[in-house]
Structure 1
Amino acid sequence: MTVETPFVSRYDARVKLIEEAVTANSKLKEKDAAALAVHILRAIDSAPEKIR
């Protein structure tokens, strides 16, 4: 019997990590935290490497 592990992209894993941090430290609902997480990740990824 084989167990299939669902594929999770690195991007999705990073969004989920940020979403969990936002949800744990604010009163935002999951849907709003997920939307904010996408914006946060986009901002982090667009920052030059020297600033990160």
Structure 2
Amino acid sequence: MTTPVPYVSRYDRRVQLVQRALTANSELGDKAALALAEHVLNALDHMPENVR
């Protein structure tokens, strides 16, 4: 019998990626890194494509 794999959205995967980068390269805790990761992705998502 196979074990079910929980669904993780693309957005959540992106947040986790940024959060891991922030915690690995700073002294931020998990909670602070998560909040900052969400702000970073929000800023990137609202930036025009030609600026990125």
Common fold: TM-score over 0.5: yes
Q: Structure 2: how far apart are the matches of 1:36 and 1:24?
A: 14
Structure 2 residue runs of 5 or longer lacking an equivalent are none
User: How many residues end up aligned between the 2 structures?
Assistant: 52
Runs of 4+ aligned residues of structure 1 deviating over 6 Å after TM superposition are: none
TM-score normalized with structure 2 length: 0.96
CA RMSD of aligned residues (A): 0.5
Q: Structure 2: how far apart are the matches of 1:16 and 1:2?
A: 26
Q: Structure 2: how far apart are the matches of 1:2 and 1:30?
A: 31
